[in-house]
Structure 1
Amino acid sequence: MKYWLVKSEPFKYSWEKFNQDGRTFWDGVRNYQARNNLRDMKEGDLVLFYHSNEGKEVVGIAKIVKESYQDPTTTEPNWLVVELSPVEALKTPVTLATIKGDERLKDIGLIRQGRLSVISLKPEEFDRILELGN
């Protein structure tokens, strides 16, 4: 199993809306590294859902329920989507400030590559964020 973090601006697609929908495809990725991360996601992988710009916090856990396929919002063959479903909300959202202040998370991609919208996580980074959020 691999672990990931995806970012969404809450005014565009929030954790609450994701839970209402129950499942979504993750579209609009137009960065090759983020696209490659989508391609590497496998069914059952776990994903942290991060509210970017507003809130700047990890708010929940999702899982991959369908592996990558052509992004239906474009005819450009380079872009992919995966399908996600929500698993559970964190009891306490984990803010970017908390992550930056945690010595165990000092090398996390969220800090090193702050503009990347789909980030791979090491198992210990995923576990640490869950620890901080529960």
Structure 2
Amino acid sequence: MMAYWLCKQEPSSYNLDRLEKEKKTAWDDVHNNLALKNMRQMKKGDLAFFYHSGDEKQIVGIMEIASKAYPNPKENDTRFVTIDVRFKKRLKRPVTLAEIKADKMFQDWDLLRISRLSVMPVPAQIWNKIIKISQK
């Protein structure tokens, strides 16, 4: 069964435009233990929201997980993993953190509860709601 995720990135270091141009990239530079645990649970074919953090704070697009987690070749410690992601599509319009905070349905989601977490699961009903909001 497919799972849904959200991956955050500061757009000044890597953004959706760049992923769209490159088509595929390694999602590395993750050091938080819970985020790494989440990455280890990702499967090829899962989908993830691309969230621009920093000043933007909005979900801008969808990526497909293109590999299972593997040791990050940039690190000397095997507990640090990376995954490959592939550009899937842009949302019709970005969904902002302010919009998400304004909807009670999202109040228990990790995006609001653990705001510094960079990789997190997205329950199916939240995924579907965000897609719906993005189409308005």
Tell me the percent identity: 37
Is 2:47 aligned against 1:46? yes
Determine helix, strand or coil for the equivalent of 2:112: helix
TM-score by length of 2: 0.96
C-alpha separation in 1, matches of 2:93 and 2:55 = 16
Moved over 6 A (4+): none
Residues 86-134 of structure 1 deviation map (CA, whole Å, 9 limit, x = unaligned): 1110111000000000122121110001000001110001111111111
Report the Cα offset of residue 54 of structure 1: 2.1
Equivalent in the alignment of 1:91: 92
- Alpha-carbon RMSD: 0.7
Equivalent in the alignment of 1:126: 127
Count of aligned positions: 134
1:1-134 matches, cutoff 5 A: 1-134=2-135
C-alpha separation in 2, matches of 1:51 and 1:115 = 13
Determine helix, strand or coil for the equivalent of 2:45: coil
Residues 38-67 of structure 1 deviation map (CA, whole Å, 9 limit, x = unaligned): 000001101000000121000001110111
